[in-house]
Amino acid sequence: MAVTRRTLAGAAPEVAPRLLGASLVSHIDGHVVAVRITEVEAYGGVGEDPGSHAYRGMTPRNATMFGPPGHAYIYFTYGMHWCANVVTGPEGSASAVLLRAGEIVEGVETARERRPAARADRDLARGPARLAVALGLTGEFDGIDLLDDASTVRLLLPERPLAIAATTPRTGVSGLGAPTPWRFVADHPTVSPYRPASRRPT
């Protein structure tokens, strides 16, 4: 089912559960890979969500979060991984939903080639970095319009979202944002294990 910008214009924690069961489809290098989303996390805006990249305002890294809803916010983390988000909320509000895990429903062979270390198909997009690799996403696609029919990366909503099996704090978020229960997961084997943020030595 096609997505409208209005569908994604709400606050991130409201939009996030609606993306369970959505498909992110990439047409890259002549290959089509589709992931059905089974785990998401919501991130808010300036001064609202201490766990968000946008909490302290706009930077070159997070500028896409401030754009119109329906675009992809893709960032680099830990010096080695790309992670993909769907921008939500009205333009200027800076909120997004991190796509944490999903099931490959098209292009399994391509995903296996991109993720040769995966022990099983359920692990191909199990975790945000793995999901990005399986889809072939890098910073080159930051800001791409996921609702444009001509885009190489498209977001499609299901007729019915997957049911929420659990709501938890977000994985790896520390500090004041740690307890915020904005991680939504479906009952599916591709959901990644929950890990709280590790404490830094004092």
Tell me the pLDDT tens digit for each residue of 176-197. 999 999 999 999 999 998 888 7
Residues of the domain holding 57: 12-185
Q: How many domains does the chain have?
A: 1
pLDDT for 115 beyond 60: yes
CATH of the domain at 53: 3.10.300.10
In a domain, residue 132? The reply is yes
7 located within any domain: no
Give CA–CA dist 25/6, Å, rounded. 20
In a domain, 102, yes or no: yes
Q: Is residue 92 part of a domain?
A: yes
Check residue 4 and give its pLDDT. 84
Q: What is the pLDDT of residues 132-165, one digit of tens each?
A: 999 999 999 999 999 999 999 999 998 889 999 9
Measured between alpha carbons, how far is 201 from 21 in angstroms, rounded to an integer?
39
89 within a domain of the structure (yes/no):
yes
In this predicted structure, the answer to whether residue 127 has a pLDDT above a threshold of 60 is yes
Spatial neighbors of 105 by CB under 8 A, at least 6 apart, are 23, 34, 35, 36
Residue 65 has pLDDT above 80, yes or no: yes
**Percentage with pLDDT > 90 across the chain:** 90
The single residue listed with the structure tokens 């740690």 is 178
For residues 163 and 17, the answer to whether their CB atoms sit within 8 Å is no
Alpha carbon separation from 5 to 92, 147, 156 (Å, rounded): 14, 8, 12
Q: Is residue 191 part of a domain?
A: no
Give pTM, 2 decimals: 0.94
Q: Which amino acid is at 151?
A: S
Identify whether 52 is part of a domain. Answer: yes
Strands 23-28 and 31-43, sheet pairing: antiparallel
Helix (H, G, I), strand (E, B) or coil at 13: helix
Q: 47 in a domain, yes or no? A: yes
pLDDT for position 201: 44
